[in-house]
Amino acid sequence: MQIGEKKTVQIPVGEAYGERRDDMVVQYPKDQFPAEMNPEVGMQLNMSDNMGNNFPVVITEVQEEIVVLDANHPLAGQDLVFDLELVSIG
């Protein structure tokens, strides 16, 4: 690219964050949350698995006894499109 040049780059879902996976959406017992916590849809949390790996989840549904957590990346299942412009070379 030359300075001032613009282009669009498209990254298909398979080369980006992949397809959404249903197995990454889980129901979690509401009574397992801290008593002072009020789970709400859209709330982002960090969880860890049995091996100590941390990963982000988003609350997508709150029912009387369960909370639905989604560990998919927010851009999973989407093609990505970037509009680029080279403004300088430093």
Q: Which ranges in the chain are annotated with CATH 2.40.10.330?
A: 25-71
Per-residue pLDDT, 37: 93
Which residues make Cβ contacts (< 8 Å) with residue 86, sequence separation at least 6? 1, 2, 3, 4, 5, 6
Q: Cα separation of 85 and 70, whole Å? A: 34
Per-residue pLDDT, 22: 96
* pTM of the model as a whole: 0.78
pLDDT tens per residue, the chain (90 residues)? 999 999 999 999 999 999 999 999 999 999 999 999 999 999 999 998 889 999 999 999 999 999 999 999 999 999 999 999 999 998
Per-residue pLDDT, 49: 86
The matching CATH number, chosen from 2.40.10.330, 2.40.50.100, 2.70.98.50, 3.40.190.100, for 25-71 is 2.40.10.330
SS3 state of residue 32: helix
